[in-house]
Amino acid sequence: MFCSSPGQYWRFNINRGFSAGDGFAEWKVLATFETSRFEKMTLLSILVSAVVGLGVTLLAIPFIVRVLAKGARFQRATEFHHRDGQPVPRLGGLALALAFVAIQFGVGTQAFAPGESRHDRWVILASSLAMFALGFWDDLKPLGAKRKLLGQILIAGSVCGLGIGIDNFKIPFTDHIIPLHGWGVLFTLAWLVGITNLINLVDGVDGLAGGISLMLMGLLAYQCHTPMLQLQAAGMAGALIGFLWFNFPPARIYLGDGGAYLLGFQVGLFSLVSSQKGTIVAALAAPMFVLGLPIVDVALAILRRGLRGLPVFRPDRRHLHHHLLNMGLSRRQVVLSIYGVTLVFLVMGFVAIWSQGRLIPVLLGALALILLLFAGKLRFSREWFAVGRIVGNSISMRHDVQYGLCLTRWLALEGQRCASLEGLWPDLVFVAQHLGFSGMKLTLADGARAWELQESAGRPAHYLRQEIHGGAFGVLELHALAAAELEPTPADAGRFAPRLADEKLFNLMGELLAEGWSNAAKGWVHNDRMPLKFSTLAPESHRKFTPQILPPPAADVGKQSSRH
């Protein structure tokens, strides 16, 4: 039986236990009294659990920031798409994991209803910590998308093997239940892995993933029909309040993959357990309402990358929060705006639970209407509705994108082989030429290097400036002719990609080139631990022989200069 409160759950079991025999009225009065006392005890336990979670994070995070995050073994190389100028530790998930363990062993051991399975408690604990460990490992040392996905599938599969999953499907508005058999395993894997990655993908701006997860934990604390799950969800909500104290813009600590994996997996797992093996649609549908905006954002990102030939798991800066930042909103304004829309969806989630799923079709219609109204207010979202044009433009970019990915991967590998960044500069020019750029300037700590096609002087051109890792890895400035009016000379025939006249293609290829330089410089710094300067030479023992590929002579292609 699905119940939205602990009092209702216990009242049902007590009345059922004393529903026969003499003196039923007397027993019913005593049962009601005991139920009222249990309700008070449960509310107190929920409050204590939230306070425990809050206290652990408030104590743990300052220690993590001061001590652990300063150690070299707990630092990870910066990624191109994380552009914060100051280094911020990514170990916030460690504090949340400690809070979860404290809740489990400090408060959760006291909350078991008659007949409630202790087996589920240990499965939730072990699998949640395993998912956190997978993400935490990636925070310390990148594992790659494929390895992380494989690990997620294995952890979710172990949950299925231990008896938690979607076994049945109840048709809405009827009492008919359909056994899913083997399909239930696939649905369970898709649910757990999907929600886990969804929270991780949302974690793109300070406080966003933490705030949405806080709303989800509040919803689950109301939805869960067992005291154990209620205390766990309430405790994690308290922990997230403490975490947001340090994560709200400007953030002093990040959630990291470990924290995002832990929260996403728990949201999926708690909703599974509270749905009583999946027979109640509302238990699974309610969290989806809260995640309505992230689901649309991620779906568009996957579609965009797939059509353009980019890796599906490749991060970019074209998510909803990036567009809002580009409109001039501050980080706080972006987060609060998304909070406001998500709060409306949170109310829908509560209504879905309260109606036991009967109002889900109406709520879905309201959700779609709100999303359309929200998109209509944003200028950048209007192009989403021109589906045919978007698909055609994206498909036409596929060849150029694949070519760009190939060249930038080669550039990244060259970064591990060059004796100096001065020697890597000609390789960067080589890639820029073949991608169709007409000019480029790279500025490092000890000076700048520039290259430009002679034929492009004085012509209208697109311009892009990339501060790589806040300028720590240099500033890259790129130019490309705004009109495809410059024809290659006979000596250049077959060596240049089509001119980057299209502004969207120019920005995309510029991002690929900047990412390639970032990976090349990161490989050079990682191997040699040297300052990022043109003049710095790597130790002789780290140099590898590689034939140097020089750009075409200046007389044929352009001119190069050094500016100090």
- What are 129-140's pLDDT values in tens digits? 999 999 999 888
Of the CA atoms within 13 Å of residue 374, those in its CB half-sphere come to: 19
Cβ–Cβ under 8 Å, residues 320 and 301 = no
The pLDDT assigned to 194 comes to: 92
Tens digit of each residue's pLDDT (9 = 90 or more) over 322-334: 788 878 888 898 8
Q: Could you read off the pLDDT of 76-121 as tens digits, one per residue? A: 545 544 545 556 788 899 999 999 999 988 765 555 554 456 788 8
For residue 481, what pLDDT band results from cuts at 50, 70 and 90? confident
Give the largest Cα separation in the chain, rounded.
107
| Boundaries of every domain in the chain | 6-279, 395-563
DSSP string, 430-484: HHHHHHT-SEEEEEETTEEEEEEEGGGTTS-EEEEEEEGGGGTT-EEEEEEESST
For the chain, what's the residue count?
564
Residue 70 has pLDDT above 80, yes or no: no
Confidence of residue 265 (pLDDT cuts 50, 70, 90): very high
**With contact defined as beta carbons under 8 Å apart, do 196 and 264 qualify?**
yes
Cβ-proximal residues to 457 (8 Å cutoff; 6+ apart), any chain: none
d(CA 377, CA 106): 48
Dist CA 200 CA 194 (whole Å)? 10
Whether the CB-CB separation of 262 and 100 falls below 8 Å is answered with yes
Apex 136 CA angle, 132 and 141, nearest 5: 150
CA–CA gap between residue 212 and residue 258 (Å, rounded)? 16
